[in-house]
């Protein structure tokens, strides 16, 4: 076909009409209102046609600054142990923790979160309130290993109680809210004193943020920010974590086998926003939504309701799903992981906790 061929002759009539030159200004204006937001004037594929244009119009990007690495640390362990339900992830020893933190930090990771696997459990999780306990030792070790990285302390009790719940159990067989927040305030001070840069309460107790804020302020830690697990759901996606951190429920008689009296109902979106905004009112500096992928709507809505920095936690079950699917040959792990991390950015996350944080930073560098 030559340049001068009248292409309207070979097009369907409606398309030919809309492609033809308008004959008058009035016709042009009419034509414009009919077509200005529509095909064929608008063609979305124009901005997708090559990688230079795609790169220029890209709305979101992932960087090392966005990524936080959770690390499991088991006391009394001689050698780091692979976690069956999380292929590629280890329970570190207190010594190998330092190596893991150094490695993450040298790759450009700005924050690590430490989770203890305790051998000193009791009814209330008192080891967390001991300045020589596992929590304090992990924080100290991580901080010494990479002073330039932010050490985030997950403050909770479930990894340190013999029954696996996130606080002491009362006569009614439920977690005692007000005792738990007294204890978690002490735990937060122990964590801050051990060198934690950020305190992240994950127990979903009412009033935990204000209790922690007060305790930090009166003990000389008013500069330490709180990242509240603000909307944390009673999720089945935590399965591999409970295995990894040794905090499964159901092995102690007479305590509930679920956390539904404190973690949120996965059916509830409005309640999640209320709960998160209460944490903001209590003094939280950052808010987190957890789990991640199944709760992107909550993250997005929270983004529209607060000016605080937001974090999303891509939990163990999310990592495991992608990992095992990749191992079975159904998906490419790197591709789906990067896509899912980007989805958190699109939904409004400033920070993402992921077991693939170090992988992701390496992939970003090699892009
Ligand atoms: C509780 C806690 C949990 C996770 C992080 N902190 C488990 C739970 O609430 O049962 C889950 C993280 C994951 O699944 O990756 N301190």
Q: What pLDDT, in 10s, does the model give residues 154-165?
A: 999 999 999 999
Predicted confidence at residue 96, as pLDDT, reads: 98
Could you tell me if 64 and 345 are in contact, meaning their C-beta atoms sit under 8 angstroms apart? Answer: no
What is the length of the chain? 367
Checking if the pLDDT of 1 tops 50, the result is no
- Residue 6 has, within 13 A of its CA and on its CB side, a CA count of 7
| Angle between helix 208-218 and 177-193 (nearest 10) | 40
Element (H, E) at 117: strand 111-117
Q: What distance lies between CA 144 and its chain's CA centroid? A: 25
Q: Helix, strand or coil for residue 218?
A: helix
More confident residue, 5 or 78: 78
DSSP string for 160-210: TBSS--SS-B-TTSSB-HHHHHHHHHHHHHHHHHTT-SEEEE-S--TTHHH
Could you tell me if 81 and 124 are in contact, meaning their C-beta atoms sit under 8 angstroms apart? Answer: no
Reported as a single tens digit per residue, the pLDDT across 71-117 is 999 999 999 999 999 999 999 999 999 999 999 999 999 999 999 99
Alpha-carbon span 188 to 253, nearest angstrom: 29
Taking the centre of ligand 1 as the mean of its atom positions, its distance from the CA of residue 227, in whole angstroms, is 15
Predicted confidence at residue 358, as pLDDT, reads: 98
Task: Output the residue whose Cα is nearest ligand 1's atom 10.
Answer: 238
Mutate which of 86, 238, 257, 340 for ligand 1 pocket (most atoms within 8 A of beta carbon): 238
Alpha-carbon span 195 to 207, nearest angstrom: 24
Q: Which of 33-47, 230-244, 248-262 has the highest mean pLDDT?
A: 230-244
Pocket (CB within 6 angstroms of ligand 1): 154, 156, 158, 202, 238, 241-242, 315-316
Q: Helix, strand or coil for residue 303?
A: helix
Could you tell me if 272 and 296 are in contact, meaning their C-beta atoms sit under 8 angstroms apart? Answer: no
As a whole number, the mean pLDDT across the chain is 93
Reported as a single tens digit per residue, the pLDDT across 12-40 is 666 666 566 667 888 777 767 666 778 88
Predicted confidence at residue 177, as pLDDT, reads: 96
Q: How many CB atoms neighbour CB 206 within 10 A? A: 15
- Residue 319 has, within 13 A of its CA and on its CB side, a CA count of 26
Strand partners, 201: 155
Which one of the listed residues 121, 232, 323, 345 is annotated catalytic?
A: 232
More confident residue, 152 or 255: 152
Predicted confidence at residue 22, as pLDDT, reads: 67
290 is catalytic: yes
Task: State the average pLDDT over residues 187-195.
Answer: 98
Predicted confidence at residue 18, as pLDDT, reads: 58
CATH code reported for the domain at 65-365: 3.20.20.70
| Angle between helix 296-303 and 270-281 (nearest 10) | 50
Atom of ligand 1 nearest to the CA of 315: 15
3 is catalytic: no
Reported as a single tens digit per residue, the pLDDT across 251-309 is 777 789 999 999 999 999 999 999 999 999 999 999 999 999 999 999 999 999 999 99
Buried b (16+ CB within 10 A) or exposed e, 321-342: bbbeebeeeebebbebbbebbb
Residues of the chain with CATH 3.20.20.70: 65-365
Q: What distance lies between CA 365 and its chain's CA centroid? A: 21
Q: Helix, strand or coil for residue 86?
A: strand
State the Rg of the chain over Cα. 26
Task: Output the residue whose Cα is nearest ligand 1's atom 6.
Answer: 202
Of 125, 42, 65, 76, nearest in space to 361 by CA: 65
């Amino acid at each position: 076909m030559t340049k001068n061929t009248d292409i309207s002759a070979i097009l369907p009539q409606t398309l030919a009409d809309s492609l033809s030159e308008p004959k008058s200004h009035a016709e042009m204006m009419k034509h414009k209102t009919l077509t200005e937001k529509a095909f064929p004037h608008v063609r979305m594929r124009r901005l997708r046609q090559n990688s230079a244009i795609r790169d220029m119009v890209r709305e979101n990007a992932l960087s090392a600054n966005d990524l936080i690495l959770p690390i499991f640390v088991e006391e009394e362990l001689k050698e780091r142990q692979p976690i069956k339900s999380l292929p590629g992830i280890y329970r570190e020893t207190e010594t190998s923790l330092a190596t893991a933190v150094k490695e993450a930090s040298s790759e450009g990771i700005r924050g690590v979160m430490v989770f203890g696997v305790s051998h000193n459990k009791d009814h209330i999780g008192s080891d967390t309130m001991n300045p020589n306990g596992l929590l304090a030792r992990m924080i100290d070790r991580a901080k010494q290993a990479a002073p330039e990285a932010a050490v985030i302390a997950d403050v909770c009790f479930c990894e340190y109680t013999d029954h696996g719940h996130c606080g002491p159990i009362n006569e009614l067989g439920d977690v005692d809210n007000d005792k738990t927040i007294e204890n978690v305030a002490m735990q937060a001070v122990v964590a801050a004193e051990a060198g934690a840069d950020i305190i992240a309460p994950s127990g979903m107790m009412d009033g935990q943020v204000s209790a922690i804020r007060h305790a930090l302020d009166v003990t000389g830690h008013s500069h330490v920010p709180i990242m509240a697990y603000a909307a944390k759901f009673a999720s089945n996606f935590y399965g591999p974590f409970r295995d990894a951190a040794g905090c499964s429920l159901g092995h102690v008689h007479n305590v509930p086998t679920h956390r539904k009296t404190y973690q949120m109902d996965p059916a509830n979106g409005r309640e999640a926003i209320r709960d998160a905004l209460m944490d903001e009112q209590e003094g939280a500096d950052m808010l987190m939504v957890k789990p991640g992928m199944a709760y992107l709507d909550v993250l997005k809505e929270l983004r529209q309701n607060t000016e605080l920095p937001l974090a999303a936690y891509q939990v163990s079950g999310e990592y495991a799903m992608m990992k095992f699917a990749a191992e079975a040959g159904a998906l490419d792990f790197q591709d789906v992981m990067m896509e899912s991390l980007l989805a958190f950015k699109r939904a409004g996350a400033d920070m993402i906790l992921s077991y693939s944080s170090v992988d992701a930073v390496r992939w970003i560098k090699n892009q």
